[in-house]
Amino acid sequence: MKLKPSHYFIAFVVLVVVAWFVFRAVVGGGDKAKAEPPKRDEIQAVQAIMSPDVVRANLVTIRGRSEGTRSVQVRAETAGLVASTPTREGAFVHRGQLLCRLDVDARQASLDQATATLHSEQLQYKAAQELQAKGFRSATQVLAAKAELDQATAQVAQARILLDQVNIRAPFSGVFDNRDAEVGSYLSPGQPCGTVVELDPILIVGDVSETDAGRLAVGAPATATLSGGQVVSGRVRFVSRQADEQTRTYRVEMVVPNRGGAIRSGLSAEMQVQAGQVAAHLVPVTSIVLDAAGRQGVRYIQGADHVAFAPVKVIEETANGVWVSGLNGPTKVITVGQSYVSEGERVRVTLR
């Protein structure tokens, strides 16, 4: 059979394709062999810094709030209608300042009557003494007159107390924070006129765990950063010895001078209380890792080139890093590659 030109063309194309695949197989295999990566270096490279130990204050950080030194609801001692409220809410008051005044009613009349009775008994007692001197009164009669005089004196004192009880006064200097009674209100004994809060000094209070409570002492210096950024200084005045039944934590109180009541009660605050001194190391915050047991710590170089792990506790956070305790002496802390090595592994170290 005679072949057509198209058959020759098809045969030529097939030969070209076959030759191309044969060529790729030979050349590609050589390239693959050449492109095969060199054997991986088994020693991991890390970077580390030499961190010296520095003696620093051991700080206990406590989240809390500001609180008035004292807060008391001032209550009526007697019943009556409120006649006046001379002190406005929010005003600073001095001890003894009038907050609410009840209607006097018949109390003044009772005092006047008791005073008149007292004057009469004084005259009778004086007359009894004079008559006794002349022999017209016995000693028993004079003693009876003296008893009547003493009773009248007591009635006057009682009437004065009852009259003064219409004046409801501040028990100490502070802020009249809330008034509960208005003019015309009827107050029974024990009902409140208002609340007085002592703000100078002011307390910063918080709760700590049983571990931290054992490290704190009354009189220890402390600082507190308020929610607005203001930093105040003071000292610990109280560490509870009985845990809260619900939280199992202990209350800590720091006292701070507060002239003029500039610091309000109820502000969020973060206390830092000094609890002795400790050897500390400054390390980058990124160098802190967790080990297989979930402990917080850093990896460091032990000896010349082996990795070790040390649990640490953060003492203080700063812009330059974190101060931690738990390391002994100058330490080569791994700062780059610490997450890719394990304890006991040999590494190639570059100090920065």
Instruction: Name the phi and psi angles at 113, rounded to 5.
Output: -65, -45
The structural domain count of the chain equals 3
Q: In this predicted model, what pLDDT tens digit does every residue of 287-345 receive, in sequence order?
A: 999 988 889 999 999 988 999 999 998 888 888 899 999 999 999 999 999 999 989 99
Tokens 């710590």 sit on residue: 297
Report pTM: 0.63
The whole-angstrom separation of Cα 347 and Cα 352 is 15
Q: What is the mean pLDDT of the chain?
A: 87
pLDDT at 8 over 80: no
Do the bridges between strand 44-51 and strand 347-351 make them parallel or antiparallel, or are there none, so unpaired?
parallel
Confidence of residue 214 (pLDDT cuts 50, 70, 90): confident
The arithmetic mean of pLDDT across residues 191-214, rounded, is 92
Angle (nearest 5°) at CA 332 between 327 and 337: 110
Can you give the CATH number for the domain in which 152 is found? 2.40.50.100
Q: What is the pLDDT of residue 107?
A: 83
> Does residue 300 share a domain with residue 242?
no
Written as six digits, the tokens of 11 are 């045969």
Answer whether residue 31 is part of any domain: no
Residues 223 and 308 in one domain: no
CATH number for position 310: 2.40.420.20
pLDDT, average across residues 110-120: 90
Q: Which of 249, 255, 245, 243 is nearest to 218 (CA)?
A: 255
List, as one string, the DSSP characters of 217-261: -TT-EEEEEETTS-EEEEEEEEE-SS--TTT--EEEEEEE--GGG
Q: How far apart are CA 223 and CA 24, in angstroms?
A: 76
Q: CA 314, CA 59: separation in Å to the nearest integer? A: 10
pLDDT tens-digit map of 291-307: 888 899 999 999 889 99
pLDDT digits (tens, 9 = 90+) for 149-195: 899 999 999 989 888 888 999 999 999 988 999 999 999 999 999 99
Higher-confidence position of 217 and 21: 217
- DSSP assignment of 182-206, as one string? -TT-EE-TT-EEEEEEEEEEEEEEE
Q: What is the mean pLDDT of residues 49-62?
A: 88
* Over residues 132-145, mean pLDDT: 87
Averaged over 112-118, what is the pLDDT?
90
Report how far Cα 15 is from the mean position of its chain's Cα atoms.
Answer: 88
Write down the pLDDT at residue 154: 93
Give me the percent of the chain exceeding a pLDDT of 70.
89
290 assigned to some structural domain: yes
Asked if residues 225 and 269 have their Cβ atoms less than 8 Å apart, the reply is yes
Q: Which amino acid appears at position 45 of this protein?
A: A
Give yes or no for a contact between 323 and 316, defined as CB atoms under 8 angstroms apart.
Answer: yes
User: Is 213's pLDDT higher than 70?
Assistant: yes
Which of helix, strand or coil describes residue 114?
Answer: helix
330: domain range?
Answer: 46-58+278-351
Classify 103 as helix, strand or coil.
Answer: coil
Same domain, 121 and 81: yes
pLDDT band at 84 (very low <50, low <70, confident <90, very high): very high
| Residues 119 and 181 placed together within one structural domain of the fold | yes
From 60, 55, 47, select the one nearest 282 (Cα to Cα). 55
The residue among 276, 299, 318 that closes a domain is: 276
Between CA 349 and CA 44 the distance in angstroms is 9
The confidence score (pLDDT) of residue 34 equals 43
Q: Is 325 contained in some domain?
A: yes
What is the tens place of the pLDDT at every residue in 236-265?
Answer: 999 999 998 898 999 999 999 998 888 999
Specify the pairing of strand 296-302 against strand 331-336: antiparallel
For 30-53, how does the pLDDT look when each residue is reduced to its tens digit (9 = 90+)? Answer: 444 443 444 445 788 999 999 999
- Between 139-164 and 107-134, two packed helices, what is the crossing angle to 10 degrees? 160
Would you say how long the chain is, in residues? 352
**Is there a single domain that holds both residue 282 and residue 267?**
no
Per-residue confidence (pLDDT) for residue 317, from 0 to 100: 84
CATH of the domain at 227: 2.40.30.170
